[in-house]
Every structure is written in structure tokens, then in C-alpha cells.
Structure 1
């Protein structure tokens, strides 16, 4: 596969010589200045996160950038499906999106195979909500998991849950505010929200308090057009901070990045709420990856 243009930069050559290289598209330049870098970063930042990749192409593993061009990693499981026509179609979507978002056309893009050959392949498990009740961590469940007619319907529902992930009314219920909650996240491939409650404070974890928390979550998602949001409450343990960190208060934050996180029960495939410590780690990892 060949690109529309070539570049003489060492960075570009490193990618084309990599065994994972597929193709390049767009207008590359030989000399990269600060204005160019800013435009590329703005274009990359405007691209959707993992919950919306399917709108571009289901083969997308990730978007990243190196200040010179956009890098699109495609899942290796789709190697038998990718050809020039599909690359052209995907590039056109990226180009139109960046032009609408930043006014930048002919955005330079390098397509690579993701180094994911050993990654676990996740599939939606419609029975995961019921299976969760057999876990040793299980506390209670609320809501109903929707019945999806096809994968696209599940993806659209998951994206809606993801977009409505910020529930600031839950902050008073977290441990830092004296409440029983430790974590909050959406398990995409299991189709429900998981809420971790403090195993060290069972006296304040009861049917009444869980119903109160669920009502806040349910009403929040109702406003986003999602009825009877499925929620599973599980026992969790507080993160042990060292003395230096423990001296400062830790703010409650919500985020969504990882699609393949795991725990010792079933699989926690996608989280949209992390403790602040996890967020810091995720940010550091992303900075390193996306340079």
C-alpha cells in the first residue's frame, strides 16, 4: 500500500521501516515547525475515544500522534479484511472529521498494525450481570441489562453510558467524604456499571444506602435517555497510601481510558470511573504513549 505523499523526516522513516507499517495517507512535510505540531495535536485531540471508534471503523485499535502526523493502529485480528479501499475509506472519515474540527485538510496519517497479537479478545457477555451474583465480592444488584438485537445496538448503548459517565452527585458518597464508595466504573463487555463499596465499613453498607446510591445513578442516566441502568455493587478495599500521599486530600475524579483492565473475578473490560491514584497512573502512561 502506498501513501499520497512522502516525507523525509527520520520519524516518518522509522514508521515505514517498521514491520507493523501498513500505509500512509495525507500531506506530509519535510520541515515540521511549532504551528504544524499544534495543528496535528489539535486534530488528534478532536478524534473520538475508544467508545466511538466503531463509527470510523471496527478495526481501529487506537489513535495517537507524535506531533508530526496521526498514527492509527488497526487490530491485528482484522488483517484479512484491510486493503487499499478500506484504508482510503477510513482516511476520508478522519480527514473530514479533522477538517470540520480544526480546519485542517489532507491530515497526514500513518496506519500501523497494533502490537496486540497476544491481547485477549473480548466479546459482549449477555449473561455477565447474572454471573456477577455468584462472585464472592457480590453485594447487591439493581436495574436491568437491555436485550440487544445486534452488536451495533450494544455499541451505541455503551457509548451513551460512556458519554453520561460523570455523576458528580456521587462525590459525597465516596470514602474521602466519609461515604461507603470506593470505585465506580462501566464494564463495557459485561453491560453493567460496577460500584465498589468499602468492605471495611459494612455497617454503612445496607439496602437503604445502596438504594440511595442507585437512585442517584439511575436518575442521572434517565436524564441521558437510559432507563433502569444495570448496576452491580461489589466489596472493595481502600487503596493504601504512603504517609507522604496521605497527608494531602485526594479529589474525586472520573475518567475513561482502559478497555482491557482485568480483576480476579470475570473480566473488568472497560472502566469509566477510577480512583484518583489510578487516574494519575493512566495519564502518565498516555503521555508516554502519545508523546
Structure 2
């Protein structure tokens, strides 16, 4: 049976879409058409405190305005917690995750006390200090007591144990250009992230866990997303191996930058597509601003 190339656009409804999102959506849409495949839409709304129905409705409106169509039904992550919990339960059973109890304040205090002079606490590729995995040294009795007492915790991946379980180095296949005409092999470095959060007590998943489960269940063959997620592929490749999930091909595209040279961000309230629309910008003009020519192809940077 012939399997169609399958792409996806997966925004979070925690703010308005901007030109950076437009570039990613348009690129996935164009690649799906060019390769005779499908583009799926996934709403990544596991953060139930920040994601809202209004922002989700805005995503649909913006995509329709740009002329971006998708295939099949929209997958909303908040409707699939049971599937993520099943994957988490497997990792718990295999003792590859552990409950981590340190609060953010405790983490900051521990790291501050550990640094000094030339001693610098290791950071992940995003510059965030690695979790000081003191919880891994807790006795089973103390761990059970804390859980029974209802202490807040997060499930963290024991990355050292996970890498040892795989027993070999990991790689991923990365395309080198928007045409997907060249490919190279990249060495994954999951250890660079330390013991990442895979779930919290109240939400049985995290971005890393849900994205690999979703990509597998949706049959995603090509993950095309921004360069800001390039290094995250390392930890996701590790999870794919641990859970026996297929490995997609990847392309991490360039980011659309603002006038000050930084990437566009919802949290910084950068101009959204809705604002451009209200200002009288046409879809064709918005596509040009995002980096596409009149024929719908991305313009080389």
C-alpha cells in the first residue's frame, strides 16, 4: 500500500498567529501539494490555562484568509490525554522516568549555591539550567511518602538511563533546503537537555511527549517546523526509540525575524495576521511579507 507524504502544521492557541506562523503553514501546505501528499492541522492545546477557544478560532480564520487548507479532521491534543498517558505509563513501568519534587524557587536556589567563580551550572540548548536531579537519589520509601502526601511533582525523563537503554547513538534525517532535495544525517544529542519534563501531576503529558505520540498516530512522514526547534529533535528522537515509534524526516526552516532582528513571538505581542488583515493588507501581500513569491514558492533568504 502506497503511503502519501504527510506534513502537518501544529500551532498552539495561546496567542495570535504572526508572519512566522504564516511562513510555516504556507511552506507545509506548498510542500504537501508539490509532493502529492497531505497536510494535517493539529491544535497543540495541552496548556489548558493559556490556550483559549478564541485563539483557536483565530487560527482557523487566519489560515482560511491565507488560503491554507488542510486534509481530514483537526486533531486537538486536549482530547487525547488518554493516549499520552498510555505512553507515559509505559515509561514509568520501565523506570525511565521519576517524580521530581523541586519547585522553581528550590531549583534556582540550588543552582545559585552551586555556582561561583569559574563554576557554571550546565545549560540546555535554550540556555535554561539543567534540572539538578537530586530526586533520583531519594529512597523508595521517601518517594512514596511524598507522593502519598500530595506534594506537587513533575515526571522527568531519566535521560542517562534512557540513553543507556537504547545502547547506541541516535541520528535524524534533516533536509537542507525548502525543496527537500538534499538530506544529511544529524547526530542527536538528547543528553544536552538533561532530565526534561514529560508530564505533570495534573496534565499527563508535555510538548516533547505529545508531539512524538501525535506524529506517530497521524502518520507524519515529514516534520517541517522552525529552526528554534532544531535541537529539540534530539530529545524527541530518544522518545521515539524508547516508545518504538517511527522516525519522520525533518526540515527546520528559517525564522521570520522582526525589524530588531529577533524571531517573532506571541509572548512579545508581535503584529499578528489579524492585525495585518484589519490594516487592509491582502493575503497576497501577507504571503510576500512572510517570504513567499506570487507563485506560492518560498523566496530564498
TM over 0.5: no
Scaled by the length of structure 2, the TM-score of the pair is 0.28
Larger radius of gyration between Structure 1 and Structure 2: 1
Scaled by the length of structure 1, the TM-score of the pair is 0.28
